[in-house]
Amino acid sequence: MQSYRSVRPAVAGLLGCALGVATAQAADSPLRAGTIGYVLTAKNVAIWQSPDGKVECPEGINDGPREQFKTLYPMENGVRYKFVETQLEREGQIWNPTTEPEPKLHFKEAQGTTAIGMNLDGKVGRNDFTSPDGEPGIDNQMYRVLGCVDNYRGPDGSYRHFIQDYMRKFNYNRFLVELTNVDDLTNDDAVDVTLYRGKDPLMVDTLGAYTPGTTHRIDFRWGKSFIYHLRGKIKDGVLTTEPSDVTFPESQARGVPYLSVRAWRVKLKLTPESAEGLMAGYTDIERYYNSLGQNWSTHHRSYGAEPMTSEYRSMRKNADGYPDPKTGENTAISMAWEIKFVQAYILHEERGEQAISSVRGAGAQTEAVGE
């Protein structure tokens, strides 16, 4: 148990805190001067799975691009297709999705009443789920869309693999969360939560686990648009934040390295070494679908049997938020992710570079990011 503080003042000044100030935490806690940081190490679309998958997917998992192509263009009886009638047509459908029925295809939505997620609207609606631990009113209609798509299912859905792999290999998706004005990591009814994009790699220990206590610099140069200040509270060691529209870094193969979520919030079990739980909100269907198409090519979707055009129809059908003012049709769909962080020290400036924060000079918020 370390009972000392030993950072050179110049380094300490770069942190969003002044080290050495006693807190309610243990003396060696990385919660220092009311500040603690975390770096994201895992993120998966929240998919509740029954032991054999029969509860949520009684018909099995969905067909993917290959299987749907075979159904749409059967090669029986010597039929010969033209390129424009098959591949090009299918590609065009992917980039121009509609809600028209797909009579030859059958998309299997997740069934049942259980889903992982958060109650986003504070209500218990007719289509809402109940969480595995019994909380009613769970808003996660995206689960109906993706719950029976192999790409997202654990433990080895293809996207789950790719997203974790890219998180380890690359830095553009580094997602930092910093908590400030924390009096107590167990109970505090008002804390400040700031989101950043970092630019340093995750570090693993000799067993391959992500190591708490690493240092991450904020990407102030290209990551200003990822900086958000939120209000939160900690109750019984669980952090929750007030809803806010945010855009966070996203792991992907190519295309759109971020994801925008409306009324985004987290529910995280905090320890001095880690944070684990959920984030949830409403995703704009058109943007989400477009990013999905840009980020993951057909071969990625084929690995995990992901039928995009069918998913689009399901998203539109199950949309439950942000109605279009003109048509009244919902434009967004509730969604949740399971997320894991390890504790990290977040540096607000690096040697020789002037920190350029979007919140510089923004009054009280300036202090929150240690500028």
Q: CB of residue 213 vs other proteins: minimum separation in angstroms?
A: 5
Q: CB of residue 370 vs other proteins: minimum separation in angstroms?
A: 12
Q: CB of residue 200 vs other proteins: minimum separation in angstroms?
A: 6
Pairing relationship of beta strands 175-180 and 228-235 according to DSSP bridges:
unpaired
- Comparing CA positions, the residue from 211, 214, 218, 213 lying closest to residue 194 is 218
Torsion angle (degrees, nearest 10) of CA 217, 218, 220, 224: 170
Q: CB of residue 94 vs other proteins: minimum separation in angstroms?
A: 41
**Contact, 368 vs 181, CB < 8 A?**
yes
Q: CB of residue 96 vs other proteins: minimum separation in angstroms?
A: 45
- Comparing CA positions, the residue from 109, 113, 167, 155 lying closest to residue 138 is 113
Take residue 298 and report the two structure tokens written for it. Answer: 């057909």
Q: CB of residue 13 vs other proteins: minimum separation in angstroms?
A: 11
Estimate to the nearest angstrom the gap between the alpha carbon of 209 and the chain centroid. 20
Nearer Cβ to other proteins (154/213): 213
Q: Which residues bind other proteins (CB under 8 A)?
A: 1-8, 10-11, 14-15, 20, 28, 30, 200, 203-207, 209, 211, 213-215, 217, 345, 347, 350-351
Q: CB of residue 371 vs other proteins: minimum separation in angstroms?
A: 16
